[in-house]
Chain A
Amino acid sequence: MIKFTFYLFSLILIFASVRVVTVKNPVHAALFLVLAFFSSAAIWLLLQAEFLAIALVLVYVGAVMVLFLFVVMMLEINFSQLREGFVRNLPVAGLVGALILLEMVFVVGAWQNVPPPVATEIPNIVALGQVLYTDYFYPFEIAAALLLVAMIAAIALTMRPHNRAKYQKPDQQVSVNREDYVRIVNIPSEAKD
């Protein structure tokens, strides 16, 4: 049963990953990438790594890919232009691809084929939390600080204060009085003749 599930999701994963590269429409490519993330999350679940699997769905599918889709959907894409540079870029792309393949072969080839360790009595979220906040406390905090710095840097780079921009000041909006804007004028009625 587990084997069947594994092969099913692996097949979907391989199919989706191939389609990410081969499909023409970038929106479809992004959606295939979502499918790929999903199937790999399912495979991780089979390894009883439920925290990682759910985090993958939550972070990549739920947040990162949504932003990706936002960007991709907003672009106006010229399909003929996309295919133009194929021959010209082929050597470089082929070289990089071959290098990555080579690295993968070394890494996977050196990997001993041991059965994956199955989660123990402690649920793996508890285990992960205990390790993260004790043994790996400094790396964890440094990573968090790095992310914060990156976020602040990104905001600082994109925010250009210019004088023409008009901002709303909600506190002023809330504290307006009727007297500030409305003036009651008493106009005496004209005499009839």
Chain B
Amino acid sequence: MIESILYLIITVIKIVIIVLPIMACVAYLTLAERKIIGYMQVRIGPNRVNLSLLPGIRNLRGFGQPIADSVKLMFKEIIIPTNADKFLFVSAPILALAPALAAWAVIPFADGWVLADINAGLLYILAMTSIGVYGIMISGWASNSKYAFLGAMRSAAQIISYEIAMGFALVGVLMAAGSLNLTEIVMSQKGSFLHWFWIPLFPLFIVYFISGLAETNRAPFDVAEGESEIVAGFHVEYSGMLFAVFFLAEYANMILIASLITIMFLGGWLSPFEGIPLLEYIYLPGIFWFGAKVAFVLFFFLWTRATFPRYRYDQIMRLGWKVFIPITLVWIVVLGLLILFKLPPWFA
């Protein structure tokens, strides 16, 4: 009995150690987004809230912005619409955030740095990301508002459509790695950056990245926000902290998708220089490479947002069903052949 309680306490501590940095990353991802898009549009971005860690250093302008924002959101009034389903209205943001955080349980941050090293890791991820839809659907329905409801229907339909293409991309990864365990998937990409799966699985890599954008309701697939069409989406009626929780979920999902891309296609925590003469002596801890790769993928997320105009809704559906699903299906067959003929260096 004592042992199991101790085990429970240690697990909770581990969870806190994982969740707190993720929340910090979420907060600063919002700042990164505003700064990067700002510079891409030749502006400075947020630059008022100064966070000076050391007195005299003045170049950290804007770095206190996420903290200021969260304090502001916490003190805002939460307005619940008339005749709304109160319980579901309040629990919808939580239902959106919980699976986005639960999925982190199986993510290996470095060699052995994983909360639950389960065999069915990839399936678990797929199951957790598929639950995220409930937050959106329930929020739209519980708001008792037609705008919110229409927005919820749109984004829910979009998310479940792109989930299929994403699932098929995962099938490609598990075929290539021969395992559903995320640690083993990373280890099967051992070698330099040419050994990672992004080369043999290139079409799946691209499909997964774009589906990831659609899955997290990011631009150019952000019809959930669609300022020019439907004011906002499923979260029109939300205010204050409840609204913020939806955004926490969106950004946590972005970081999750970025780390999944890192693990499945970009070699996880492995150094890109392994096996390359001279360069292979650069030694940095695995967590550094993992973080660098995740940041790199996240930069692409933000870059796309600054670059592309929003898709029309029917075009989103066409892209998901008629372009991505056939591409993934064809590449799974091609991949089967590559594995059958033991194409070096990946499947030798």
Contact = CB atoms under 8 A, between A and B. Distances in A.
Contacts of B50: none
Given A31-B138, A66-B137, A73 B149 contact: yes
A54 B314 CA distance: 32
B314 A168 contact: yes
B119 A62 contact: no
Contact of A62 (B1, B88, B127, B180): B127
Contact of B141 (A1, A63, A73): A73
Given A125-B119, A170-B318, A66 B134 contact: yes
Contacts of A63: 130, 160
A31 B88 CA distance: 10
B335 to A, nearest CB: 17
Contacts of B123: 51, 54-55, 58, 125
A57 interface: yes
Tell me whether chain A's interface is mostly helix, strand or loop, or mixed. helix
A168 B318 CA distance: 11
A170 B318 CA distance: 10
A90 B36 CA distance: 65
B124 A66 contact: no
A70 B124 CA distance: 24
Contact of B153 (A58, A61, A70, A170): A70
A27 interface: yes
The size bracket of the interface on B is 20 to 34
B149 A51 contact: no
Nearest to A27: B141
Contact of A1 (B4, B126, B137, B163): B4
Interface in A40-65: 50-51, 54-55, 57-58, 61-63
A69 interface: yes
Contacts of B138: 31
A75 to B, nearest CB: 12
Nearest to B91: A31
A123 interface: yes
A69 B134 CA distance: 9
Interface string B126-146: 110011011001100100000
Interface of B: 1, 4, 88, 118-120, 123-124, 126-127, 130-131, 133-134, 137-138, 141, 149, 153, 156-157, 160, 163, 180, 314, 318
24 contacts: A1-B4, A31-B88, A31-B138, A50-B118, A50-B119, A54-B127, A57-B127, A57-B131, A61-B127, A61-B130, A61-B131, A62-B131, A66-B133, A66-B156, A66-B160, A69-B141, A73-B137, A73-B153, A123-B120, A124-B119, A125-B119, A125-B120, A125-B180, A170-B318
